[in-house]
Structure 1
Amino acid sequence: MRIRNLYDPPTLKDREAVKPWAPTGMTASSKITDEGCEITVTGESEQGCWLNPPTPRPDGLANVVWQKKDGSYLIGIIKNMTVQMPAGVMVLTRLCGFDDRSLVDILQNVGLPLVFAATDHPY
């Protein structure tokens, strides 16, 4: 089977910095760097910090995935697409959007990066 990459998600260094929500006892800050959106989370809380999906959210968007500098991903939870942010510093490089949540699982199961998608709708 041949797979063609039609999806080129935007790099976060070209967008406004996103800042996670931080509960009492934690702080979160963000800034744009040459590598992407650098997020710093400090403190401790059972809730942790949460990164919300981009706004405005495109119609039909079922899931968002934030690609990290190291190539791994933060995958939004199914109901509201937020991701939990651990304490520390991380750089997010790309924002990937999917109109079908099952596509995230399919791509992971076949070992493809989540920047692949079946359509070319840049979220």
Structure 2
Amino acid sequence: MRIRNLYDPPTLKDREAVVPWVPAGMTASASVTAEGCEITVTGEDTGWLYPPTPQPDGLANVVWQKKDGSYLIGIRSNSTVPIPAGVTVLTRLCGFDDRSLITLLQNAGLPLVFAAEDHPY
């Protein structure tokens, strides 16, 4: 089977920093660093990171890869992901038009975010 990246470019180095929405009484900031998009949320609640703009046609789900290798996956109804209080560093972004592909990759133990070239598995 061959799996290819469905969103190009997948890295965040060439994107502007994305600041999440936070409830009243909280603050959020973001900057692009050498490590990726560093997001800081302060307060007692959760912030929400909205999809990149402009959003590519057909992009129904977003997967953000964190610096630690884990993933933030958009909720099922749209591409928004929760950002907890603290510092989160995002390093890659990938979009899928069908959430079932995310489930398939997770069940197969394959990474959700790929470099721009095809990868054989």
TM-score, structure 1 normalization = 0.85
| Aligned position for 2:102 | 104
| Aligned position for 2:56 | 58
Give the secondary structure class of the aligned counterpart of 1:12: coil
Give the secondary structure class of the aligned counterpart of 1:108: helix
Amino acid paired to 2:51:
P
Deviation at residue 57 of structure 1 after TM alignment: 1.2
Question: Is the 8 Å Cα contact of residues 10 and 113 (structure 2) preserved in structure 1?
Answer: no
| Aligned position for 1:32 | 32
Deviation at residue 4 of structure 1 after TM alignment: 3.0
**Segments of 4+ moved more than 4 angstroms:** none
CA RMSD of aligned residues (A): 1.8
Q: Distance in 2 between matches of 1:72 and 1:9?
A: 19
Amino acid paired to 1:82:
T
Deviation at residue 9 of structure 1 after TM alignment: 4.5
TM-score, structure 2 normalization = 0.87
- Cα deviations by residue, 1:29-63 (Å, 9 ceiling, x for unpaired): 00000010000011013xx2000001111111110
Residue 23 of structure 1 pairs with residue 23 of structure 2: yes
Unaligned runs of 5+ in 1: none
Q: Distance in 2 between matches of 1:88 and 1:60?
A: 32
2:2 alignment partner, one of 4, 27, 32: 4
Q: How many residues align?
A: 114
- Cα deviations by residue, 1:8-47 (Å, 9 ceiling, x for unpaired): 65211221100100111211100000010000011013xx
Unaligned runs of 5+ in 2: none
| Aligned position for 1:82 | 80
Of residues 9-18 and 95-104 in structure 1, the stretch that sits farther from structure 2 once superposed is 9-18
Question: Is the 8 Å Cα contact of residues 9 and 115 (structure 1) preserved in structure 2?
Answer: no
